[in-house]
Structure 1
Amino acid sequence: MSDLHCPARILLVDQRPAGALAERLSRESLAATYDAPVDLDEVADRHRGETVLVVGPLPAEHAHAGGPVVLVEVDADGRRTSPWDVPR
């Protein structure tokens, strides 16, 4: 059971990962992978304390974060969006 006080970490990518990104994601403990569009709040509620991957077009409110992967952390205080660093 996940910890309800921990944020859900949602990684948003616009296409199936390949290369360095796929390698880095393989080192993450992904609880699930979803195809977009999905309701990020529902995904977060289902996966508190876990990391999930959502593949598909970035929602408009997160497209500004830049980078090939956007990290959205959702907890009781709300959402935080930032680029997720991918090694070159």
Structure 2
Amino acid sequence: MTNRPEPISKDERKGRIERLPAAMQGAGADAVLLGSTTSLAYFTRLVWHQSERLVGALVTTDSLTYIAPSMKTVTSSMPCCKAEGVRQQRFV
């Protein structure tokens, strides 16, 4: 029998997003584009396979914008993890 790891908590996920702007500023970046990669899952819990359609997130120092095709099945599966440092969260 194997022991399963604890699921990542909502607070841990929020903390990841809250720490990202400081790392961006330290690197001189104004924004980070997270495509359909493990980074997208790490920061947002959104897991999506790469395809010809971009699904991802654009993170700036004060906003988190999810990018997805205009398909109900895609946008309805987007996580809604509002981080304290993020003033704006939207879908495009």
Higher helix share: 2
TM, length-normalised to structure 1: 0.28
Higher strand share: 1
TM, length-normalised to structure 2: 0.27
